[in-house]
Amino acid sequence: MAAILLEGKVLASAIKERLAKDVEGLKKKGKTPKLVAIQVGENAASAVYLKSQSKNAEALGIEYELITMDSETKEDELIKKIVSLNNDSRVNGIILQLPVPEHINARRVICHINPAKDAEGMHPENLGRLVLAEAKVAPCTPLAVMELIKSTNVNLYGKEVVVVGHSEIVGKPLSLLLLKEFATTTVCHIGTGQRGTLPDHVKRAEILIVAVGKASLIKGEWIKDGAIVIDVGVNKIGDKIVGDVEFETAKEKASFITPVPGGVGPLTVTMLMRNLVEAAKLQE
């Protein structure tokens, strides 16, 4: 029996209904949440995400501003702009759009964002709060993954969860969110693949999350019968967009699976908006 599709758009719609009410509540207190995105240079992929940010913010009644800076902008100039936004009481959330030009150290720049206004949850202080299970905001894609898992009504307690990919923006923070729910969490990465044990880990996963960015990395035959599969990967093959998991084979073995596109993606920007609203509430 084919797996049930976990479509992010359906979940995002329900979450945005609740967010719209929260925004309305803040407005009644005289506070309109405001998100400022900063883009340095031009990037085609970023343009799609920025457009989605603007569209979602408008629909929710959130004020949105995009600041574009030249690709030759110096790092200290970017930091000065961020500091000015930190000091602007009208701004509740700041997001630095990645990637940035090579001469700018994104990690260092993000450290200058006020943690209370860190809409992406990527400031070291907010990542540290993840370790303590006290995070108020968190990286958007991991939050989206957690919402998709929870929508299946699975009890994460003790479940064998395998995360493939250990990036700072997905794999690492996601593993901490899973541990907070007492999932038995294994993180696989390039070392796992080079040792040749990746299939072994995938085959025992009751819940599998893949975020690598390599098409068909995970073979459908590896999927455990009845597993929940969350595919974060987005890869362009010819004129098609595909994930990291062999979808057609995997969907015949999994109980739930995300399509690519249409799974995690639509929820990610919704989580950004939720982070912003949470930040605005904390700043009251």
- Enumerate the known binding-site residues: 165-167, 190, 234
Binding residues for NADP(+): 165-167, 190, 234
45 Cβ neighbours under 8 A, 6+ residues apart: none
Q: Torsion angle, CA of 157/272/277/53, rounded to 10 degrees?
A: -150
Q: How far apart are CA 47 and CA 43, in angstroms?
A: 6
User: Whole-angstrom distance between the N-terminal and C-terminal Cα of the chain?
Assistant: 50
Q: Where are the alpha helices (H) located in 94-219, listed in sequence order? A: 106-110, 124-131, 140-150, 171-180, 190-195, 198-203
Q: Which strands form 93-96's sheet, in the order they lie side by side? A: 63-69, 34-40, 93-96
Distance of CA 283 to the CA centre of its chain: 23
Q: Is 198 exposed, middle or buried (0-12, 13-18, 19+ CB in 10 A)?
A: buried
167 burial via Cβ count (<10 Å: 0-12, 13-18, 19+): middle
Going by their DSSP bridges, the two strands 160-164 and 184-188 should be labelled as parallel
